[in-house]
Structures are given as C-alpha cells and as structure tokens.
C-alpha cells in the first residue's frame, strides 16, 4: 500500500531532522555522533522507499517466470543496490569517527564537545 | 578628529587579535588592509543587486556602507565568528543548509 | 586502447591495498610505491580518448520512446580528464617521492591513504554516474581525514574529527539530493538525467527537482570548502604534513570541479543554480582573503588563500558562458600547481626551522635563497602577475565577467588579486626579508633536495602555462563546448 511508503518517508524525514537537531544542541560527542549517523540512516531509508512498489515481487528472475509478468511486477532493484553500498560507507565513516573519539578521550578525559573540540588556534600559535 | 580617534582605537583593538604574543607592524597593517578590503568588497558585491532592482541596490549599498563603517573594527568580530570550535562551524553549516533549502524551495522559480 | 581508462583508478587502488598489506618489507615497499607513482602521470597521457562501460554493457536504445539508456557505470575520458589526471598523477608522484626520501622507514598506511585519495579523485573526475561519484567522494573524505590524522602536528586529531563530523552532515545531504534525482528520473547516470531534464521528461520547476539542487549544492560546498566550510578546510590544510597538504588541496580542487560539472550538466537550465554558485564564490573570495590577511601561522595563511582562490573557479562556472567556464577550469588547473608549490615551499621552511609563526621568523633569504626565489615566483603567480599562469586565467575571468555584463565582478576579482598580493608580500617580508630575530636558531639544516626538485618541476609548468596558455585552453574550450 502507498501508506507504507508514506510512513517510511515520514520516518526518514524525522530521522534527518533529529540528526540535525542533535548536531547543534547535544554536547556529548558520542551522543552527537549517534545523532549525526541518524542523518545518514534517514537518507538511506529514503532511497529504499523510492524502490518500494505496492504488491511487487523481489527483483530476482527465477527459472520458469514469465519475463513480461516479471518486468511489470518486480520492484525497482537499483535503489537497494545503492543503499547497500551507502550503508557500508556509513559504517566505515562511523568507525573512523569513533576511533578518533577514543584517542581524544584518552587525551582529555572528557566527552564534552565544547572542551574537546574547542578553538585551538590561540593556544598553539604562540606557545613558548 | 573624531574619525581619526576612531581609527586609532581600531588599531589599538587589533592588539587583542594577536595576543598572546607580540604585535608586529606587518600584522597590524595586514589587519587594516583586511578591514578596508572587507568593507569595500561587501559594498561592491551589494551593487550586484542592481540586476534585480536598481532602487533596492542603491538602498542596500547605502545602508550596508553606513552600517559597516560605523561598526569598525570588523575583523575581530569576523574572526571570532570563524574560529575553529566545532560548535560555531556546525551552527553555521546547519544555518546555511536551512537558508539554501528554504530559499530554493520557495524562491527557486523567482530568479 | 580504452582498457587504460579503468586502469587509471585501478592502479592506485591496487597499489594502495598491496602497500598496506606488505608494508613490513620496507625496501620493496619503497621501490613499489616509487614505480607506481611514476606510472600515474604516464597512464593518462598514453591513453586514448573514449568511453569505458563497466561490464561491457553498452548503451541501449528504447525503441518505444527513442531514449538512450546507460545501464553500466560509464567512464568518459576526454582532454579535460586527461590534463587533470596527468597533473594529479604528477603531483602524487612528487609528494610520494618527497615522502619516500624524507623517512628511512616508510609507513604503509600513510602511502595507502595517499594512493587511495588519488584513486578516489580520479574516479570522481572520470565517472558519468552520480552515485559512483558519491561513493568515491566518501572514500576521499576518509582518505583526507587519514592524511590529516597521520601527521604529527599538534591538534591534528581534533581537526580530523571536526572535518569528519561536518562531513557526516554534508555528505548525507548530497545522498538525499541524489535520491531525489533517482526518484524523479529512475536513473543515476548523469547523461540520462540531463537528457530527461532537457527533453522535458522532468519538470524543471518542480519543488522536488529544486530541492535536489539545494541538497547536492550543500554537499558540494562541503567538498570544495566554500563558506561555511572554509574554516575547516583551511584548518585541515594547516594540520597536515606540508607535502600531504599539497596533495589535499589538489583533491579539493578536483572534487570541486568534478561535482560542479555534473551539477552544471543537470541544472544549467535553472538560473538559480548560477546565482547560488556566484554568490558562494564571492563570499569565499572575500572571507578567504580577508582572513588570510590576519593570520600569523603561515600554513593557515596559505590554507585561507587556497580557499579564497577557489572562488575564482566558482566564478567562472557560475557565469556560465563557454569562455567563462574555460577560464574557471584553467584557473583550477593553475591553482592545483601553484598552491602545491606554495605548500611544498613553505613546508621546506618548516622542515628547516621547526617554526610556523611568522612573528618568530625572519632573514631566511640568506639561508635558503633557492627556496625563497621559487616561493616568490609562486606567490606572484598566485596573485596574477604576468607572464605567469595565474595571470592568464585571471585575465580570462575578468574578460569573461565583463562580456557577461558584470563589471562589479571584474572589479571584485581584481581587488581580490591585489589583496592576495598583499598577503603574500606581507608574509614574504616577515619571513625572508626582515632582520633575523635573535631567538631564532637556524641549525644549519638543509632543505631536502627532493623538495627543491619538486618545486622546480612545478615552477617550470607554471611558467610554461603562463607563456603558452593555448596548449591547455584550446582543449578545455572544446570540452566545454561539448557540455553546453
């Protein structure tokens, strides 16, 4: 049903907005990263929703299937392929971010963004 | 004399820009150049509005010139807004995203 | 010999994987990295122009609607790609060469990142598939973060994390925009999308299409470091090793032009696209140069200058005529070379003095005359002094904006050039000409000979392009005529 697609689209929009909210307003870096990864998931969910077809079948041509029936009834496979790639990239980006956070946590002993990622240009410019 | 005093004050305020550390001749003259450059170039860029409406361009240019000149020194304010802290960067990124999307969605066909 | 086209991406990618896997064999890794880096500029020069369809799926014609579809990921290789990939390969070779001679024990992962970035940028430039471009755009962001984090400069991890956090807002927005385009056209091939838009199959005034422009445009701002991302972009340049920064800025410039050319092909029918590009370019020019004037750290200063110069490229694209786009792309090529030269040259100074604050430096002309003369010429080229290459492209841009009826933009461009000149003269004076401060200890350190060699090679190209700009502009102009 088209309501399913609409619900998915609303969910993805909500994910993006929550992500943008957390990017500005949350101070804890881990929470901020979790929130930011919502944006990525929202975008992925949106692309999945594009390929949705009410009453469609899985886009795999099994032996014995009628080709013209398959062509009219199969869901659009391209978005799923794209999202798979995008999820892998998102996961690796997340891993690198969290690894950097681990290093910085050991150095600063805090997860607060305003301490860890504050303006550093003044200290380093003229240290004796 | 008043303008002279104001400009002298500007130079004094540049000292804060470079603290800690000494303030050299070259740095201050660079900052004054940046100050003048920013005023002139923003006013000049505002002139581009004449392709939309000549009256609007005249008004915006005059107002911008008065506001910018009466608010010197601008460079310390600009620099504080564009420092390296993640909060400021994220704030401006999200604001820009909001402005672009709003502007394009509702005004995209007007241009 | 179209088999060489995918090899431009595959060779650095495979080299990156092999080097990182076998990095414990130090000597073999060094030789292998050197040979691969030497191959990089040679492959595009030896290859013929043409198209490459991955998997061999040639375009199919739909007999009912008479529309051509491209089922495969397509690489298109023309003069523009050739010149940019060759220049990128040359730069990668020089940077890898500097790196290999600087350290006795080389780090496999660092070489991996250098080659990975080159492969990603090459793929972005070649591809005709917008999602393929997005994938390599993300890989490029990872490589850039790695190059920054691998440097031993203070606060490099912080800067890398900031870049990454901002990137995880910028790139999903671009993905959303691509999703909108996919929803509208059912394809991710740029040629197909552009054909659908220009044939009227997609309503160019529909809000969804406009929204996709806004979102991809935001991703482009992040990729190219135009405002509001100019602070982070100059930040990562200043936190990378100098030779790494030389490569990073070339990645930025190439990814900027590859994305903007794709956007131009899809959205050129919308006037608002050109307005947006010109607006952000002017903002980048003003903010970049005025912030560069107030910096005391000279690496940060070149970083801001590099961002300011990006505005010129955007200006050329935004004006939208054949002459203007040619000028913009020529400026992009010049900027890659000149900024790399500046980064390597100032990197040599960091190497020799261990100092980045201009207030603590001085009198270096007597100690490093070769470096200072080459830096002087590079700075003049960046400011647009004849007969160097920067002059030719900036003159073309000024003429193009006059022809389009925007004299204000011409004046602005000239003013920015003058301000660039002021930045450079100020820095040059404080570093090389003013008397040496007493505290500054120059421990008879020599500048590595490979750095001098790299600067010499780049300087020859700068002068050559300044005297004979036609060898590049004629080919670029043909390419631009093809996409208009």
Predicted confidence (pLDDT) per residue in C319-332, tens digit? 989 999 999 999 99
Does the pLDDT at position C220 exceed 70? Answer: yes
Does the pLDDT at position B21 exceed 80? Answer: no
Q: Closest partner residue to C162 among A23, A47, A117, by Cβ?
A: A117
Give C215 to chain B, closest Cα distance, Å: 7
Q: Are residues C354 and C306 in the same domain?
A: yes
Q: Tell me the pLDDT tens digit for each residue of C235-286.
A: 999 999 888 999 999 999 999 999 999 999 999 888 889 989 999 999 999 9
Q: Are residues C278 and C259 in the same domain?
A: no
At A124, is the pLDDT very low, low, confident or very high (cuts 50, 70, 90)?
Answer: low
Residues of A in contact with C149 (CB under 8 A): 100
Q: Are residues C354 and C378 in the same domain?
A: yes
Asked if A125's CB is within 8 angstroms of B83's CB, the reply is no
Domain of residue C445: give its range: 270-484
pTM: 0.94
Mean pLDDT of B66-75: 85
Mean pLDDT of B66-88: 85
Asked if A97's CB is within 8 angstroms of C168's CB, the reply is yes
Does the pLDDT at position C472 exceed 70? Answer: yes
Q: Which of residues 56-85 of B touch A (CB under 8 A)?
A: 83-85
According to the model, what pLDDT value does residue C153 have? Answer: 85
At C98, is the pLDDT very low, low, confident or very high (cuts 50, 70, 90)?
Answer: very high
Highest mean pLDDT among C191-195, C348-352, C354-358: C191-195
Mean pLDDT of C387-393: 90
**Chain C: partners with 3+ C-beta pairs within 8 Å:** A, B
Asked if B26's CB is within 8 angstroms of C169's CB, the reply is no
Of C408 and C67, the structure prediction assigns the larger pLDDT to C408
Asked if B105's CB is within 8 angstroms of C214's CB, the reply is yes
Q: Are residues C479 and C391 in the same domain?
A: yes
Mean pLDDT of C284-301: 89
According to the model, what pLDDT value does residue C120 have? Answer: 95
- Asked if residues C183 and C232 have their Cβ atoms less than 8 Å apart, the reply is no
Q: Are residues C262 and C123 in the same domain?
A: yes
Q: Are residues C310 and C341 in the same domain?
A: yes
**Chain A: partners with 3+ C-beta pairs within 8 Å:** B, C
Mean pLDDT of A118-123: 70
Asked if A125's CB is within 8 angstroms of B90's CB, the reply is no
At C403, is the pLDDT very low, low, confident or very high (cuts 50, 70, 90)?
Answer: very high
B94 touches chain A (CB under 8 A): yes
Q: Closest partner residue to A119 among B21, B85, B90, by Cβ?
A: B85
Highest mean pLDDT among A55-59, B79-83, B101-105: B101-105
d(CA B39, CA B66): 10
> Which of C234, C268, C302 is at the close of a domain?
C268
At C70, is the pLDDT very low, low, confident or very high (cuts 50, 70, 90)?
Answer: confident
Mean pLDDT of A32-45: 92
Q: Are residues C230 and C302 in the same domain?
A: no
According to the model, what pLDDT value does residue C116 have? Answer: 94
Q: Are residues C251 and C275 in the same domain?
A: no
Residues of C in contact with A77 (CB under 8 A): none
Query: For chain B, what percent of residues have pLDDT higher than 90?
Result: 25
> Which of C242, C268, C294 is at the close of a domain?
C268
Residues of C in contact with A37 (CB under 8 A): 168
How many domains does one find in chain C? Answer: 2
Q: Are residues C48 and C173 in the same domain?
A: yes
- Asked if residues C6 and C75 have their Cβ atoms less than 8 Å apart, the reply is yes
What is the average pLDDT score of chain C? 90
Residues of A in contact with C297 (CB under 8 A): 121, 124-125
Q: Are residues C211 and C304 in the same domain?
A: no
At A52, is the pLDDT very low, low, confident or very high (cuts 50, 70, 90)?
Answer: confident
Does the pLDDT at position C444 exceed 70? Answer: no
Q: Are residues C203 and C319 in the same domain?
A: no
Which pair of tokens denotes residue C195? 């054909």
> Which of C218, C243, C268 is at the close of a domain?
C268
Q: Are residues C264 and C393 in the same domain?
A: no
Mean pLDDT of B88-95: 91
C165 touches chain A (CB under 8 A): yes
According to the model, what pLDDT value does residue A1 have? Answer: 57
According to the model, what pLDDT value does residue A65 have? Answer: 82
ipTM (interface predicted TM): 0.92
d(CA C377, CA C341): 10
According to the model, what pLDDT value does residue C271 have? Answer: 87
d(CA B68, CA C119): 46
Q: Which of residues 159-198 of C touch B (CB under 8 A)?
A: 159, 162, 165-166, 169-170, 173
End-to-end Cα separation, chain A, in angstroms: 68
C139 touches chain A (CB under 8 A): yes
Asked if A116's CB is within 8 angstroms of C186's CB, the reply is no
DSSP A6-70: HHHHHHHHHHHHHHHHHHHH--BHHHHHHHHHHHHHHHHHHHHHHT--TT-B-S---TT--HHHH
């Amino acid at each position: 049903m088209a309501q399913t697609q609409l619900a998915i689209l609303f969910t993805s929009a909500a994910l993006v907005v929550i992500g943008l909210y957390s990017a500005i307003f949350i101070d804890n870096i881990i929470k901020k990263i979790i929130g930011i990864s919502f944006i990525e998931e929202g975008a992925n969910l949106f692309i999945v929703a594009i390929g949705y077809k009410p009453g469609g079948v899985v886009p795999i041509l099994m032996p014995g299937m009628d080709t013209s029936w398959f062509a009219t009834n199969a869901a659009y496979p391209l978005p799923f392929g794209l999202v798979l790639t995008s999820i892998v990239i998102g996961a690796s980006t997340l891993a690198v971010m969290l690894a950097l956070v681990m290093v910085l946590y050991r150095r600063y002993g805090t997860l607060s963004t305003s301490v860890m990622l504050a303006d550093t240009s003044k200290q380093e410019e003229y240290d004796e | 004399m008043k303008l002279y005093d104001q400009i002298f004050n500007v130079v004094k305020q540049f000292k804060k820009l470079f603290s800690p550390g000494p303030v050299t001749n070259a740095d201050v003259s660079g900052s004054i150049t940046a100050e003048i450059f920013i005023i002139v170039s923003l006013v000049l860029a505002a002139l581009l509005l004449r392709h939309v409406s000549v009256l609007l361009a005249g008004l915006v240019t005059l107002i911008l010139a008065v506001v910018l000149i009466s608010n010197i020194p601008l460079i310390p304010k600009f620099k504080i807004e564009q420092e390296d802290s993640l909060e400021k960067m994220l704030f401006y990124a999200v604001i820009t995203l909001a402005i672009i999307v709003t502007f394009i969605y509702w005004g995209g066909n007007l241009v | 010999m179209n088999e060489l086209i995918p090899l431009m991406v595959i060779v650095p990618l495979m080299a990156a994987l092999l080097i990182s896997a076998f990095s414990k064999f130090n000597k073999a890794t060094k030789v292998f990295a050197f040979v691969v880096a030497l191959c990089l500029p040679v492959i595009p020069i030896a290859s013929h122009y043409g198209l490459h369809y991955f998997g061999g799926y040639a375009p199919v014609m739909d007999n009912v609607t008479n529309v051509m579809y491209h089922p495969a990921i397509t690489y298109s290789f023309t003069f523009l790609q050739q010149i940019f990939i060759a220049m990128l390969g040359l730069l990668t070779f020089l940077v890898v060469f500097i790196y290999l001679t600087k350290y006795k024990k080389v780090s496999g992962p660092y070489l991996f990142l250098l080659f990975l970035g080159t492969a990603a940028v090459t793929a972005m430039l070649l591809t005709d598939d917008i999602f393929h471009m997005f994938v390599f755009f993300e890989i490029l962001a990872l490589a850039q973060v790695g190059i920054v984090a691998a440097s031993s400069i203070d606060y490099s991890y912080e800067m890398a994390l900031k870049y990454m956090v901002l990137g995880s807002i910028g790139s999903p927005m671009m993905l959303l925009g691509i999703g909108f385009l996919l929803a509208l056209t059912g394809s991710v091939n740029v040629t197909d999308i552009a054909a659908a838009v220009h044939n009227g199959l997609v309503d160019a005034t529909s809000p969804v299409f406009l929204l996709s422009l806004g979102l991809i445009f935001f991703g482009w701002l992040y990729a190219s470091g135009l405002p509001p991302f100019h602070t982070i972009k100059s930040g990562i340049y200043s936190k990378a090793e100098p030779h790494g920064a030389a490569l990073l800025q070339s990645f930025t410039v190439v990814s900027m032009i590859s994305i903007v050319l794709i956007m131009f092909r899809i959205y050129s029918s919308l006037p608002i696209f050109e307005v947006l590009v010109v607006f952000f370019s002017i903002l980048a020019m003003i903010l970049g140069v005025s912030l560069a004037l107030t910096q005391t750290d000279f690496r940060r200063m070149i970083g801001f200058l590099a961002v300011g110069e990006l505005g010129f490229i955007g200006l050329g694209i935004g004006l939208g005529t054949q002459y203007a786009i040619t000028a913009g792309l020529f400026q992009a090529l010049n900027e890659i070379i000149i900024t790399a030269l500046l980064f390597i040259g100032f990197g040599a100074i960091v190497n020799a003095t261990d100092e980045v604050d201009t207030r603590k430096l001085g009198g270096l002309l007597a100690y490093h005359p070769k470096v200072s003369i080459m830096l002087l010429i590079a700075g003049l080229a960046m400011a647009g002094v004849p007969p160097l290459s920067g002059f030719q492209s900036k003159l073309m841009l000024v003429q193009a904006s006059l022809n389009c009826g925007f004299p204000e933009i011409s004046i602005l461009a000239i003013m920015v050039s003058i301000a660039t000149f002021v930045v450079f003269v100020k820095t040059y004076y404080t570093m090389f000409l003013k008397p040496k401060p007493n505290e500054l200890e120059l421990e008879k350190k020599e500048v590595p000979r490979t750095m001098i060699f790299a600067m010499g090679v780049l300087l020859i190209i700068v002068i050559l392009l300044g005297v004979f700009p036609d060898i590049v502009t004629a080919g670029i102009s043909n390419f631009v005529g093809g996409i208009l």
